Homo-oligomer: A and B are copies of this chain.
Amino acid sequence: MKLSLLPEEKVFKDPVHDYIHVRKQFVWDLINTRAFQRLRRIKQMGTSDLTFHGAVHTRFAHSLGAYEVMRKLLNYLSRFWSDQPDDFVAVAYAAALLHDIGHGPFSHAFEKAIGSRHEEWTQRIIREDEEIAAILAELDPSLPDEVARVYDKTQPVRYPLIRQLIASQLDVDRMDYLLRDAVSTGVTYGRFELERMFRIMEPHWEDEGDVPTTIVLRPSGIHTVEQYLVARYFMFTQVYLHPNTIGSDVLLEKILRRARRLYREGRLSFVPRALVPFFRSDAPNRELTVSEYIALDETVLMAAFHEWQHEADPVLVDLSSRFLHRRLFQYVDFPGEEAVEEIKDALAREGLDPDAYLAVVRRDNKLFGDFSGVRVLVGGQPVDIVELSDIVHALRQQAKPIHKLYYPDDIPAVRDAVARWVARGE
């Protein structure tokens, strides 16, 4: 495989990395595909912009950023290991650039409502999208499969190092999004020293191959990686899991479930063309084609919410309007099953469907308590960071599960019912 160069390097001006540099022709070609351009219309942080108004940056920007982190990191690694084969570089660049290509609109809330899974779509798009698969296959017929397998941990890969750099706790995905989300929202929490992270990473061989199998951290870099993991912890607790963002996700999921039900019952008058296959299918990951899948983005959903304000179903009208005009549900710490039943009764007495207006949210503490793949070389042997750092150990302890009740506090009877239970609990 020989990766041809662009006549002249292309750059993208970027608020995080200053410039994103593209010299390989195939990278440029991948960026210009429809499937990749579609990421311009999917926000990186889903509904978070309803809480942090700066959080409107896109998965397009983040995907370029993840690629740029990979490019810079391989450049650093070339100090230890300079003869990086072209097929290694091709898989690494493509896997970084395309790691989010399968994301749907408002990722998690949409997936929960519809039952699709972006990880599988990422693989399907890489293997099946007529533009993307062709660009990769032209370099080497096995390349689409090679790239797609990077994301599937059940499959062996030729270069385990790439999988680590794409899908571990120390991957180019996190390194870009922590910085980017911090810059966009305006918080300092997510900042860490990216170049110093590169400097403490060292290639490590666990076999006789030409290509190292893993990255380990130098012992001198423990505090640097602590800073990175602490940044991640703060971004999760302060930004990603902000209760208002959970609330806007709840609302979105309720809208989609309601609209799909109405559609299936023949009671929805407007449905955007691109949404039809999703509403019709019980197994979208299996049943939809790639081109059906990538036809959908957040602008289509948002415009549907506009139209749904004019449907006959008052619940869909109300929920859609709430989302557009940001009248989010309120929340309390979970008050117990008995309380929930009583609040449901209050809703029912108002003629409101509890399925549409009440949500109990649980999130366990696995979200940022995972430190897999972060290993430090101690006496020639990679050792898990958790065993070496009390802070990292504490981060794991710290991760408290979330258990909350979301409800509309602009309905007096509901608000009062909640208030009674909260008062009793104190």
| Residues of A in contact with B (beta carbons under 8 Å apart) | 9, 11-16, 18-19, 32, 34, 37-38, 40-41, 49-50, 52-54, 56-58, 60-61, 64, 79, 183-189, 191-193, 195-196, 199, 223, 226-227, 230, 233-234, 237-238, 272-274, 295, 297-300, 302-304, 306-307, 310, 324-326, 389-391, 393-395, 397-398
19 contacts between A and B (CB under 8 A): A11-B199, A13-B52, A14-B53, A14-B54, A14-B186, A18-B186, A18-B195, A19-B199, A53-B60, A56-B56, A187-B193, A223-B234, A272-B306, A272-B307, A299-B306, A300-B306, A303-B303, A390-B397, A394-B394
Which residues of B have CB within 8 Å of A272?
303, 306-307
The listed residue (B15, B307, B397) touching A184 by CB distance below 8 A is B15
Measured CB to CB, the closest approach of chain B to A255, in angstroms, equals 14
Q: Could you say how many copies of this chain the assembly holds?
A: 4
Cβ-closest chain B residue relative to A61: B53
Return chain B residues, CB-CB under 8 Å to A196: 19
Pick the residue among B34, B234, B391 that contacts A398 (CB under 8 A): B391
Contacts of A57 in B (CB 8 A): 54, 56
Chain B residues with Cβ under 8 A from A185's Cβ?
13, 15
| Interface pair B56/A15, CB less than 8 Å apart | no
B306, A295: Cβ atoms closer than 8 Å: yes
- Nearest CB in chain B: distance from A231 CB, A: 9
Indicate if the CB atoms of A307 and B79 lie closer than 8 Å. no
| A372: min CB distance to chain B, Å | 20
Residues from chain B with Cβ under 8 Å of A390 in the complex: 394-395, 397-398
A8–B60 alpha-carbon span in the complex (Å): 37
Provide the bound-state CA to CA distance between A303 and B295, in Å.
Answer: 10
Bound-complex Cα distance A185 to B49 (A) = 18
User: Bound state CA distance, A425 and B49, in angstroms?
Assistant: 50
Q: Which residues of B contact A274 (CB under 8 A)?
A: 306
Q: Which residues of B contact A300 (CB under 8 A)?
A: 302-303, 306
A299 — which chain B residues lie within 8 A by C-beta? Answer: 298-299, 302-303, 306
Distance to closest chain B CB from A329 (angstroms): 15
Please, how many angstroms separate the alpha-carbon atoms of A41 and B300 in the complex? Answer: 13
If A273-B306, A298-B299, A303-B304 touch, does A186 touch B234 (CB 8 Å cutoff)?
Answer: no
Least Cβ–Cβ distance between A228 and chain B, in angstroms: 11
